[in-house]
Amino acid sequence: MYIYMKILSDTKLDYSDVLIVPKHSTVTSRNNVNLETTMHFKRCHIQWTGKPIIASNMDTIGTFDVYDVLSKHNIITCFHKFYSAEDFALKYDDSTDNLNPELFMISSGINTNDLERLDLIIKSIPVKYICIDIANGYLQNFVEACKLISNKYPHCVLIAGNVATPEMTETLIVEGNVDIVKIGIGPGSACLTRTQTGVGVPQFSAVLECAERAHKLNRHVIADGGITSPGDLGKAFGAGADFIMLGGVLSGHDENPGEIILKNEKKYKVFYGMSSEKAMKTHYGAMSNYRSSEGRELTVPYKGSLEKTVHDYLGGLRSTCTYINAESLNVFYERCQFVKVNHQINTIYAHHN
């Protein structure tokens, strides 16, 4: 019997496998860098302007308290799936602290209850951005659901994922009529998909290849997961990401839900993946016996105010721009070049800190 095993021979890369090459620059100050960009979504005739960074729709991240901080910076929050239509209506009607439809996304799954909830929310408050989010974006019923939702809400930008290959990116765009495809299978700090299933594509290469395919079709991508430092933002944008979604790096703050935990006189907060046993028990009562946990429950160091982390990441991205002569994110991609590396940073004294 002849057995044929197909192996993609080109090595796929993660953010840790590349560095951005510096070049002669006339951008002399971080203060001169514009991190706001404008995007056009042709299917629904919507134009968006802001900083193209998104808080993940995890229930410790995609919250009203996180939105209150990020919206001041024109950064988007993708709200988690467990806010009700009533929750949104109450938040929206609060005249001192209402919701800007340009700066939030409503998350939904694809089962009947999810879609009924989505419809109630859209009838309760103005919604411009819908994120259809499941762990495995390769399922045909997911593609079909995206098309139905796209047709039902033609006035909304439709985001869908997650996938990690250009072929499926194209399928979601062409067959699912999706405006923005969310890229990332297993790169997140709280994700166990790669160890539990053996499935995934290193995130830098996934973003690079999927973005190229999406842009040829005049659509967009979100790089979702794998960001560990401000420098990774530049690598993701340089790979072609239109937006970057952050999870773990936005955890551990005063604005994240949960009490501060003391361990060995150090402070921590809990952060967990949405496919973890913790998430299943919190929202559904138990972990189903036909599945295993594909997410971690982590204790992350307490970081204080979210404002500090936001300024750190935006400041790092501005600095990246000065190194590659990019006065704005509009020109970042074309001015960004990479070198593959075997080693990135000197860690000789890291164990002392």
Q: What is the CATH number of the domain that holds 110?
A: 3.20.20.70
Task: State the catalytic residue, choosing from 63, 193, 309, 320.
Answer: 193
With tokens 């009529």, the residue in question is 177
In a domain, 218, yes or no: yes
In a domain, 4, yes or no: no
In a domain, 7, yes or no: no
In a domain, 10, yes or no: no
Verdict on whether the full-model pTM lies above 0.75? yes
In a domain, 62, yes or no: yes
State yes or no: is 131 an active-site residue.
no
Give pLDDT tens digits along the chain (353 positions). Answer: 455 567 777 899 999 999 999 999 999 999 999 999 999 999 999 999 999 999 999 999 999 999 999 999 999 999 999 999 999 999 998 866 689 999 999 999 999 999 999 999 999 999 999 999 998 999 999 999 999 999 999 999 999 999 999 999 999 999 999 999 999 998 988 888 888 889 999 999 999 999 999 999 999 999 999 999 999 999 999 999 999 999 999 999 999 999 999 999 999 998 865 554 555 456 555 544 554 445 567 789 999 999 999 999 999 999 999 999 999 999 999 999 999 999 888 888 876 55
In a domain, 272, yes or no: yes
Residue 287's pLDDT is what? 43
Residue 105's alpha-carbon distances to 1, 31, 81, in angstroms, are 52, 29, 10
| Backbone torsions φ then ψ of 199, nearest 5 degrees | -105, 140
Peptide bond just before 162 cis, omega within 30 deg: yes
State yes or no: is 193 an active-site residue.
yes
Residue 174 CA to residue 32 CA, distance in Å, equals 39
Count of the separate structural domains present in the chain: 1
Residue 296's pLDDT is what? 64
Taking Cα atoms as reference points, which of 335, 333, 326, 337 lies closest to residue 34?
A: 326
Residue 274's pLDDT is what? 56
Q: Which amino acid is at 315?
A: G
Contact 146, 172 (CB under 8 A): yes
- The residue range of the domain holding 97 is 16-21+30-345
In a domain, 2, yes or no: no
In a domain, 274, yes or no: yes
Residue 92's pLDDT is what? 92
Task: State the catalytic residue, choosing from 191, 210, 321, 336.
Answer: 191
Q: Give the chain's radius of gyration (CA, Å).
A: 20
In the Cβ-directed half-sphere of 137, how many Cα atoms lie within 13 Å? 30
